[in-house]
Amino acid sequence: MRNMSDPGPATDEYDRRANIYNNQSGEVTPVRKDQIHGLDSFIESWRHNVEFPHQLSFGGWQMSDEEHPAGTGRPAYRLVHKTIRTIPNPQVSMLYSNLRINVGNGQITLGEPRFGDALAGRLPGTFIVPEWGELKQSGLDYGYEWQPNVNLKFEGHQETTPPTNYLEILYELPEGDWSEFDAMLAAGRAGVAELTAMIDFMYGARLLGPILTEEVGEVFEDWHWNRLLGGRSLGMESQARMEVLDGQRFIDLVGSAIEKRLELPAEERARLKVASQWYWRADSELDRVQKYIAYWLCIEALELGENANIKPVKLAVARILEIDHKSASAAVGEMYRIRNGLVHGVVRVVEKSALNRVEALAVVLLEEHSLGTVSDQRRDALRLAVELAKLPKANRDQN
């Protein structure tokens, strides 16, 4: 897609605000107007000076053909490991009702969405088109020269490897609503985790070597694979508003926080270190189950230590929100029950609303332990989590 501020000439048939690039030939092809849907409304809704760039999603299908039309198969997951100089003889193909295991030699076709000139974002699966600029000083005057970048480049990349030795797993997902790419990926990983662990114990890293590809898509009766491209989104740095960081205030705030931390007892510093690691693990995790458990472990590291009694967490919530201890019990108790169900395999699904509530608690506690204070925004998020716990489950999950 070209720069929206410079769409170029248009004709009655083509809209040159969007182009198709052939990476092999370098040919640029305009797109017919009747093939573009939503571009005008997208441009009209585009806003500058926002807090953080909006994320645009990307999706598509690969490997489909006339006998295997896109979107007509059964939702599935694909994992391919390259072996470490381990040659199968004879080659293997094991079939089950919802699973196929291939250990063979041959070419592997793989694909993924790619965004030209983009940097990986902080959250998994997010990318951002960077804006480059230079800070210049002349005497006491400062200036900043930058070049806005509002060009979006999407590529449905696909390639085929040379012949190699590999282990491939195709796993049909269980019945469910698989409208979210990340949910399909998480379900696929969970579905084959026991199998890959057993293979690892028997054969080790020489068989389960580097991952050539991990994908979601669909399979058919003949186990043909259609790849679904998705799970990644793109934002533009130029969309965000410009802010100036007060360098001296940064020194004062961060320096003070570091000094206070150094004054803490060794036991408290150890808890903070472990809790922070769980916080970042949760922040980077796609699977809601693992994400939930990581947030709860952050809470445990801060408040429970080796004690399994969650009363200290309830007391901490009551103190931070200035409410009665009993008012905090329902929310904390529900979070702990979900944690138990997930850890012991009784529950395998986490609603987004439940994840938001445990995240609100973990973040507030970590902020208080780290900085000795809690921001109004995070306190309000925790207060909402406590209030939602008082509502019927159906109403809670709508919030």
Q: pLDDT tens digit string along 235-262?
A: 999 899 999 899 999 999 999 999 999 9
The per-residue pLDDT for 85 is: 97
- Closest by CA to 149, choosing from 115, 117, 114, is 117
- Closest by CA to 313, choosing from 349, 351, 275, is 275
Q: Which amino acid is at 332?
A: V
Q: Which residue has the tokens 């571009």?
A: 39
The per-residue pLDDT for 95 is: 97
CA 114 to chain centre: 16
Lowest-pLDDT range of 37-41, 108-112, 216-220, 381-385? 37-41
32 and 13 Cβ atoms separated by less than 8 Å: yes
Distances (CA, A) of 143 to 50, 135, 237: 22, 6, 19
Full-model pTM: 0.83
Confidence of residue 391 (pLDDT cuts 50, 70, 90): confident
Distance (Å, rounded) from C-alpha 380 to C-alpha 399?
Answer: 14
Distance (Å, rounded) from C-alpha 164 to C-alpha 105?
Answer: 5
Q: Which amino acid is at 368?
A: E
49 CB-side CA count, 13 A: 0
For the chain, the residue count is: 399
Distances (CA, A) of 52 to 128, 151, 335: 11, 17, 30
Classify 52 in phi/psi space as left (phi over 0), alpha (psi -120 to 50) or beta.
beta
β-pair partners for 113: 156
pLDDT tens digit sequence for 116-151: 889 999 888 999 999 999 998 888 788 888 887 777
Residues 6 or more apart whose Cβ sits within 8 Å of residue 108: 80, 160, 161, 164, 166, 168, 212, 213
Query: Is 370 a residue whose pLDDT tops 80?
Result: yes
Q: What phi, psi does 231 have (nearest 5°)?
A: 75, 5
The per-residue pLDDT for 8 is: 47
pLDDT average, residue stretch 272-295: 95
**Angle at CA of residue 66, ends 64 and 68, nearest 5°:** 50
pLDDT tens digit sequence for 52-108: 888 888 789 999 999 999 999 999 999 999 999 999 999 999 999 999 999 999 999
Specify the higher pLDDT residue, 1 or 318. Answer: 318
pLDDT tens digit sequence for 147-172: 877 778 888 999 999 999 999 999 99
- In terms of DSSP bridges, do strands 164-172 and 99-106 run parallel, antiparallel, or are they unpaired? antiparallel
Q: Is the dihedral of CA 195, 200, 205, 206 positive or negative?
A: negative
pLDDT average, residue stretch 272-300: 95
- Cα dihedral 11, 12, 18, 20, rounded to 10, equals -90
Confidence of residue 2 (pLDDT cuts 50, 70, 90): very low
Specify the higher pLDDT residue, 113 or 39. Answer: 113
Fill in the DSSP letter of residue 50: B
Residues 6 or more apart whose Cβ sits within 8 Å of residue 119: 127, 128, 129, 130
Tokens of 161: 């490897």
Q: What percent of the chain has pLDDT over 70?
A: 94
Query: Is 343 a residue whose pLDDT tops 80?
Result: yes
pLDDT tens digit sequence for 21-64: 776 677 888 888 888 877 787 777 777 788 888 888 878 999 99
Query: Is 395 a residue whose pLDDT tops 70?
Result: no
The per-residue pLDDT for 4 is: 39
Residues 6 or more apart whose Cβ sits within 8 Å of residue 246: none
Distances (CA, A) of 197 to 145, 165, 208, 221: 53, 20, 10, 27
347 and 337 Cβ atoms separated by less than 8 Å: no
- Closest by CA to 181, choosing from 349, 59, 354, 53, is 59
- Average pLDDT, whole number, for the chain? 90
**Angle at CA of residue 192, ends 188 and 195, nearest 5°:** 175
The per-residue pLDDT for 393 is: 66
Confidence of residue 366 (pLDDT cuts 50, 70, 90): very high
pLDDT average, residue stretch 109-114: 95
Confidence of residue 399 (pLDDT cuts 50, 70, 90): low
